[in-house]
Amino acid sequence: MFRSSRYSYVLIIFLSRLALIQFVKIEMVEERVICLSQNIYPAPEVTWATDPPTDSRSLQNFTRKTSDSKGLFTIESSVSMIGNTSDHTYFCSVVSADEMQVWTASLHHQDELFGEEGSGLLVPCMVPQPCHNFTLTWTFIRTTESIVIFTYDSRTHRIANLWESKAELDIDQAHLGNGSLHLLNPDSLGHSGAYICTFYGFQMRHQVQTHVNITVREYIIKCSNVFCVIFLYMYLSNILVITKIYILYMLLFFFFTKYTYVIFIICNIIIYCREKKNI
C-alpha cells in the first residue's frame, strides 16, 4: 500500500512538472536556418530534413539545450544552408521525450519575384502536405513595417482581407494546399517588399517567404515625358487648343503612371505664368 502511494506521489510530481511543446519557430539568418522551441519539460529532441532530400552528412546540425530557474528547457538548433537560398525547403521537427508529441515547422525562401505596375502578379505559396483544419495568413513587410494583409480560418471560414481591392486568394485552392496570393493592380511604392505566407495546422507550421519587386514601365514614362515636351511646344506655338491637350495629358497621367508628376507640375507652372502674362 505504501509502495503504491509512493509511486502515485512520484507520478503526480512528474505530471505537475510536465510542460508540453507549444510552438516551433524557424527562420533563416544569413547562411544558417535556425529552429527554436521554449518552455518544455522534459528536454525534447530535434530532427532535420529537406525537400528535395539531402544526405544527412550535408545536414549537420548544432543543437543547444538550456534550462531556466523553473527547470523548463529551451532548445535551439541550426543547420547550414545548402546551395542557394531557394534550392530547398527546410523541415525542423521537435520531438518530446516520450515521443508523444512531434511539432514540425518548415521554411522555404523563394527567388525574388519581379512584376510591372498595373499588371497582375501571382505570389506562390504551396504547403508540402494539405491539412483539414488550418489558418492561413499573408504578412507584408516593407523596410521595418510589418502588416498582416490576409487571414483565413478553415474552421470558421472567416476571411479578413485588408487589401480587398488590391489582392485576392482562391479559398478552394487553399484547402488543397495552394495559398498563392494574386496581386491585382500592384504599384512599385505600395507593393514592393517581402511577402510571408504561413499555414498553421495541428502541430504544424509551414512558411514561404518571397521578396517582390514591382517595377515601373519605363517605356510609359519615356513616352509620357516625350508627350509633355511636345505638349509644351504646341502650346507655346499656339498650334492646338490648350484645353484639349490638357485633358489628354490628364488621362495619360492618371491611367498610365504617377511618376510624371514633376513634369506635370512644371507644365502647370508654365501654363499659369503664361496666363498671368496675358492678363
Number of domains in the chain: 2
Percent of the chain residues past pLDDT 70, beyond the cut = 71
Q: What's the CATH code of the domain at 57?
A: 2.60.40.10
Asked if the structure places residue 177 within a domain, the reply is yes
Decide if 216 contacts 223 (C-beta within 8 A): no
Q: Which of 219, 246, 272 is the last residue of a domain?
A: 219
Confidence tier at 226 by pLDDT (50, 70, 90)? low
Asked if the structure places residue 89 within a domain, the reply is yes
Q: Each residue of 104-147: pLDDT tens digit?
A: 999 999 999 999 998 999 999 998 888 889 999 999 999 888 99
**Mean pLDDT of all residues in the chain?**
82
The three-state DSSP-derived secondary structure of the chain is CHHHHHHHHHHHHHHHHCECCCCCEEEEECCEEEEEEEEEECCCEEEEEEECCCCHHHCCEEEEEEECCCCCEEEEEEEECCCCCCCCEEEEEEECCCCCCEEEEEEEECCCEEEECCCCEEECCECCCCCCCCEEEEEEEECCEEEEEEEEECCCCEEEECCCCCEECCHHHHCCCECCEEECCCCHHHHCEEEEEEEEECCEEEEEEEEEEEECCHHHHHHHHHHHHHHHHHHHCCCCCHHHHHHHHHHHHHHCCCCCHHHHHHHHHHHHHHHHHHC
Confidence tier at 278 by pLDDT (50, 70, 90)? low
Tell me, yes or no, whether 177 and 74 share the same domain.
no
Q: Which of 47, 70, 100 is the last residue of a domain?
A: 100
Tell me, yes or no, whether 142 and 36 share the same domain.
no
Q: What is the pLDDT of residue 267?
A: 61
Asked if the structure places residue 31 within a domain, the reply is yes
Confidence tier at 251 by pLDDT (50, 70, 90)? low
Range of the domain at 133: 104-219
Q: Each residue of 15-51: pLDDT tens digit?
A: 456 899 999 999 999 899 999 999 999 999 999 999 9
Q: Each residue of 59-110: pLDDT tens digit?
A: 889 999 999 999 999 999 999 999 999 999 999 999 999 999 999 999 999 9
C-alpha cell at 133: 483544419
Asked if the structure places residue 5 within a domain, the reply is no
Tell me, yes or no, whether 126 and 85 share the same domain.
no
Asked if the structure places residue 239 within a domain, the reply is no
Identify the residue with better confidence: 230 or 18: 18
Q: Is the entire prediction scored with pTM above 0.75?
A: no
